[in-house]
Chain A
Amino acid sequence: MFKPGLSKSSGAPFHHGILIRTMAKDIGLLSFGAYIPRARLQRKVIADANAWFAPALKGLARGERAMANWDEDAVTMAVEAARDCLGGIERASVGALTLASTTHPFDDRQNAAIVATALNLNPALRSMDVGGSLRAATSALGAAFDAAVGGTMTLLAAGEHRLAKAASTQEMQYGDGAAALLVGRGQPVARLLAAHTETVDFVHQFRGRDRAHDYAWEERWIRDEGYMKIVPAAVAAALKAAGVEPGAVDHFCMPCTLARVTPALAKRMGIADTAVRDNLAAVCGDTGAAHPLVMLAAALEDAKPGQRILVAAFGEGCDALLFEVTDAIKGLAARRGVKGSLARRKEETQYQRFLAFNDHINLERGMRAETDKGTPLTVLYRNRDMIEGLVGGRCQKCGTFQYPRARYCVNPECNALDSQDPQPFSDLSGKVMTYTADVLTYCPDPPAYYGMIQFDQGGRMMADFADIDGGKLEVGLPMRMMFRIKEVDPSRGFVRYFWKAAPA
């Protein structure tokens, strides 16, 4: 008679460890990147605003949580993390793209395809969205290693923008963010020693179809029956498969919003207390499905060659992945990463703004907000590289960079016909040439900042600006382009993306 239960570490019917023992040395994590949105909502303002109704929130009112701007979602943040990850890497080498999230903006329209277009990846690409669980990204990471053995290089990006009801503990604990990993053959900065997954339908929280918010059960039960039982089973199996003692783990990455659970687990499993990594609760919050990768990226930023990183992701079971950092970590190019993202910070003390960005209050947005935001899909498709990829042109005759690409070259001394090669502008640096702060035009976060960006290599465009502090704009300010939401079409549920300029 079949009796449900957790697998014993000695008798797992299948785990990735079997495969990994034969994995070539040149397969592993080739690069990583991260993105945490700039605004950090102070938890104290959440607690203060809701104290009349939920005074207990005061107990959680420490630190800050990352808050997506009105024009950011799981897709835009994943794109930024992926750009961070791909810096300097030939994009044509990416053969597969997976986008992990529980908050994909589209149910039907592959979200990964938007990311692929924004990154100007080769269309000969195996792409997919994975979701449905807080371990979506770690499960996809295991699959990426399977693909790597088969010769495919996978870009795995995870982004999360979860909504939470006002005055909920989730509102306090969640944060928005993204991370990305490149998995394949090359000079890995970390190799996978073993991976093991336990799949257990333990429902600590859920979000049904068409529901905006998570519904969670009692924390004490989640701790005792969930984390404390399911995680050790998965971790023990992975460690055993790798032949690594728990005490040899240098970095233990496990997202968990429950207090003191991770250290208690580490102790139970024999992992050193010093190996337990900060879950970034104080400075970022829990970024859901992205958080295991965010924590892994943060660990890679600190890790030294030879160190072992254990990642455990809990949710309807547990994924456990054990990595060993290689010498190549020392040669990895500088990147923004988690540290850089956290340093790019703006304190947010307006709880009302957070509510408005997440559509939790019925703001009077004015008649100017009523214009039809419909997107003709034919036009979007025909111009997808121009719009989603920010691809302009470079004239073969005179070398002029120009956006958009047009049939005649814009250089009045040239005006050559059909002379332009595609030229991506997204990674070009630029400077502010003109600007304004506009309170007349409708903008979800007024004033609307925009102006002319002059790219340093040539070419210019009139662009919306993002992440601007009032009074800091000036002609000549260095800017970089960021992938953002251009329009949300509330009557049809469509989201249109484009690029905006943000301070470099």
Chain B
Amino acid sequence: MATGIKDKVVILGMGCSKFGEHWDKNAEHLMVDAFEEAVKDAGIQRNQIEAAWFGTAIEEQHVGKSGVPLDMTLRLPYIPVTRVENYCATGTEAFRGAVYAVASGAVDIALALGVEKLKDTGYGGLPQRGRGALQSMTWANISAPGSFAQLAAAYRAKHHVNKEDLKRAMAHISVKSHDNGAKNPKAHLRNRITEETVLNAPMIAEPLGLYDCCGVSDGSAAAIVTTPDIARGLGKKDLVGVKALQLAVSNGQEVQFDQWDGSYFATTRAAAARAYKEAGIGDPRKQVSMFEVHDCFSVTELVTMEDLGISAEGRAINDVLDGFYDAGGKVPCQIDGGLKCFGHPIGASGLRMLYEMYLQLTGRAGERQRSSPVFGMTHNLGGFPSQNVSSVTIVGAYGA
């Protein structure tokens, strides 16, 4: 009988590069930034790492395939390195691999490192990429904002919300994240914005304007994980334990079967339900202290807060406009600035979210610090609302 991952593994150290348009740095440079910080934080020697999981999604734009780029960069002694890719959940997928390796007892200390260098395409937005030989013949001419924008049409139809109300709630989400990002030295965008700026921005994919879209940047983040016993042996106190690691992947029901209505993420609902069970959380709205969710677009964050069971269905607009998710609200969401301000170097993003949770749980989040958080939850959403990968991770005070 499976017992789940709760508290079997703890985070020993983490690192995160500055995110941004690093015109002067290769991906390898950013990887070393994240890795050096993580190793120092962990308080171990680099050769104590026994296995690594390497997350990168659009590798053809930077490091290329396989686990080799990680080891060519970090010079670890012929350890096993597994390269993973799972859409925007890639960084979290690397973390999942490392955590499972430690939980299995196969290794004592494992590394998860994600990186993406997106700003070498010559144009704004995510790089154009292939969809597979067959799918490219039938898939609509979809961009990332265009795929997520469709949530808004379906959500409005389902919940009888008018365009203006939805746009205003979406605007508040972006304004809130910029407020938070302004306080984060590692964020790419550190400017505050106003609701008016958001509402008057050029349209990208109806109804998403420029400020409804997250940035695109270069960055890397890393986590070193081990068992609670080893962490204690290394003198660590206030351990941050892994409480839940869940992943749900579309099987065609949304895009090919007649039930899904287009207004929510079926995968996120499935992954969240399993994660709360795994973590032993019965009332997430009350028990989870903070969220880093996949705010690739403002509307994604809005519906995700319903899919995670924090806002009631059709009520996220009210919670958002009431400030429930603001930094000073009941349950802050994107307290580090989110994808909105960090940008979304795909392989790194999941680990960057965990980095903020880890800083908060260890009391090191500076002026963003929440008082005594217990559980932090991260969420990634990759692909399209109709066909995607959704990951949900819960970390928290060990033993909580």
- Which A residues are within 8 Å of any B CB, using their own CB? 366-368, 371, 375-376, 379-380, 383, 386-387, 400, 402-404, 406, 410-412, 433-443, 447-448, 450-452, 454, 458-464, 474-476, 486, 496, 498
Contacts and interface: CB of A to CB of B under 8 A. Distances in A.
A368 B137 CA distance: 17
B137 A486 contact: yes
Contact of A387 (B138, B204, B262): B138
Contacts of B141: 438, 441-443, 448, 450, 464
Among A404, A438, A451, A454, residue most surrounded by chain B Cβ atoms (within 10 Å):
A438
Interface string B205-244: 1101000000000000000000000000000000000000
Given A406-B252, A410-B256, A433-B262, A367 B150 contact: no
Contacts of A367: 121-123
10 contacts: A410-B253, A410-B257, A439-B205, A440-B143, A440-B146, A440-B205, A441-B142, A447-B205, A460-B256, A463-B140
B79 to A, nearest CB: 37
Contacts, number: 129
B49 to A, nearest CB: 39
Given A441-B146, A460-B257, A461-B138, 20 more contacts: A367-B121, A367-B122, A368-B123, A371-B128, A379-B133, A383-B134, A387-B137, A400-B257, A403-B256, A410-B251, A410-B253, A412-B253, A436-B153, A438-B205, A439-B205, A458-B258, A459-B256, A462-B139, A462-B386, A475-B156
A431 to B, nearest CB: 11
Nearest to A451: B150
A319 to B, nearest CB: 39
Contact of B138 (A366, A435, A454, A498): A498
Contact of A368 (B128, B134, B138, B154): B128
Nearest to B262: A434
A424 to B, nearest CB: 15
B257 A476 contact: no
The 10 closest A-B pairs by CB, nearest first: A438-B146, A434-B150, A441-B143, A436-B149, A450-B140, A475-B157, A438-B205, A437-B206, A434-B262, A440-B143
A361 to B, nearest CB: 22
A464 B133 contact: no
Nearest to A372: B130
A433 B206 contact: no
B257 A436 contact: no
A460 B153 contact: no
A410 B252 contact: yes
Interface residues on B, range: 35 or more
Contacts of A387: 137-138
Contacts of A371: 128
Contacts of B140: 450-451, 462-464
Contacts of A404: 138, 256
Contact of B146 (A406, A436, A454): A436
A436 B205 contact: yes
B142 to A, nearest CB: 6
Contacts of B255: 452, 460-462
A104 to B, nearest CB: 21
B151 interface: yes
A412 B150 CA distance: 24
Contacts of A383: 134, 137
B282 to A, nearest CB: 27
Interface string B98-127: 000000000000000000000001110100
A491 to B, nearest CB: 16
Given A434-B150, A434-B151, A366 B123 contact: yes
Contacts of B262: 433-434, 452
A459 B181 CA distance: 43
B203 interface: yes
Nearest to B202: A439
Interface string B364-400: 0000000000000000000011100000000000000
Among B137, B153, B251, B384, residue most surrounded by chain A Cβ atoms (within 10 Å):
B137
Nearest to A441: B143
Contact of B258 (A368, A406, A460): A460
Given A371-B128, A437-B205, A439-B204, A462 B137 contact: no
A476 B128 contact: no
